[in-house]
């Protein structure tokens, strides 16, 4: 069973990488290059995640792993908000083209970017923005299994918590290759598998929720 599950997840990783490669070649390092409709909506989602980290952490320096980092927009926002002295950033993505782009970008000098579905070492927070929105399959059960499994891998590397966002609807569904979760279902999954779960919603992002899972010590 594990072998079959592993094969399916490897297949999904490959398909996702192919889809993003094509998109990146067409739109380059723009919000559309990672399937966001606009810079405003992309940045707002990332700002929400950063605000949760800053408000919830008492440490002078916080380390974060950005899983599904794309072309590194989160690090750019950290820099724009003058948070480089407060946040230690690491970027990860399954797409090697994104990692190559970030590694060669002069804006990201001395920043670590690696190919992977989870961090290579422990950090305070693991964050994911839009990482599980796009799905190459219509089978909800398979996709949700993929999401929960990957969240589990990332949870092991989170010392303080894990934050990610999802599209949300009254019912779980896949529409136009986009996965929508349902509020009570995702809360139950996160609390049963990981820890204390806080879910927030922004008035501008009507189809989005941000999920903050705390690791209690």
CA distances from 6 to 43, 52, 54, 140, 152 (A): 33, 33, 36, 17, 14
Is 188 part of a structural domain of the chain? no
The predicted pLDDT at position 59 comes to 83
pLDDT, one tens digit per residue, over 36-78 is 999 999 999 999 999 999 998 888 899 999 999 999 999 999 9
Is 142 part of a structural domain of the chain? yes
The predicted pLDDT at position 216 comes to 82
- Could you give the 3-state DSSP secondary structure of residue 158? strand
| Cα–chain center distance at 33 | 16
**What is the domain range of residue 168?**
2-179+193-214
> Is the pLDDT score of 149 beyond 80?
yes
Number of domains comprising the chain: 1
Mean pLDDT calculated for residue range 129-134: 97
Mean pLDDT calculated for residue range 207-217: 93
The predicted pLDDT at position 41 comes to 94
The predicted pLDDT at position 88 comes to 97
Q: What is the CATH number of the domain that holds 100?
A: 3.40.50.150
Is 41 part of a structural domain of the chain? yes
> Is the pLDDT score of 107 beyond 70?
yes
> Is the pLDDT score of 136 beyond 90?
yes
Determine the Cα–Cα distance for residues 55 and 73; give it in Å rounded to an integer.
21
Determine the Cα–Cα distance for residues 41 and 91; give it in Å rounded to an integer.
20
Q: Which pTM does this prediction carry?
A: 0.96
**What is the DSSP pairing of strand 178-181 with strand 173-175?**
antiparallel
pLDDT, one tens digit per residue, over 152-208 is 999 999 999 999 999 999 999 999 999 999 999 999 999 999 999 999 999 999 999
The predicted pLDDT at position 156 comes to 97
Is 186 part of a structural domain of the chain? no
The predicted pLDDT at position 57 comes to 83
> What is the percent of the chain where pLDDT is above 90?
92
Is 168 part of a structural domain of the chain? yes
Is 139 part of a structural domain of the chain? yes
Whether residue 126 contacts residue 157, with contact meaning beta carbons closer than 8 Å, is answered with yes
The predicted pLDDT at position 1 comes to 66
């Amino acid at each position: 069973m594990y072998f079959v599950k592993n094969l399916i997840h490897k297949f999904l990783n490959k398909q996702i990488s192919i889809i993003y490669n094509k998109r990146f070649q067409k739109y380059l390092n723009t919000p559309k290059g990672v399937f966001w409709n606009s810079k405003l909506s992309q940045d707002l989602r990332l700002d929400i995640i950063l605000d949760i980290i800053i408000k919830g952490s008492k440490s002078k320096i916080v380390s974060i792993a950005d899983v599904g980092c794309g072309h590194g927009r989160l690090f750019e926002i950290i820099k724009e908000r003058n948070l480089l002295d407060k946040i230690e950033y690491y970027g990860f993505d399954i797409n090697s083209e994104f990692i190559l782009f970030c590694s060669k970008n002069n804006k990201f000098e001395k920043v670590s970017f690696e190919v992977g579905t989870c961090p290579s070492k422990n950090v305070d927070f693991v964050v994911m923005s839009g990482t599980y929105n796009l799905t190459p399959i219509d089978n909800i059960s398979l996709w949700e299994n993929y999401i929960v499994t990957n969240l589990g891998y990332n949870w092991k590397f989170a010392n303080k918590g894990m934050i990610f966002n999802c599209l949300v609807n009254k019912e779980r569904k896949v529409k136009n290759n986009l996965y929508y979760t349902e509020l009570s279902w995702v809360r139950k999954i996160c609390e049963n598998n990981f820890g204390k779960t806080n879910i927030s919603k922004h008035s501008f992002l009507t189809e989005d929720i941000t999920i903050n899972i705390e690791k209690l010590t």
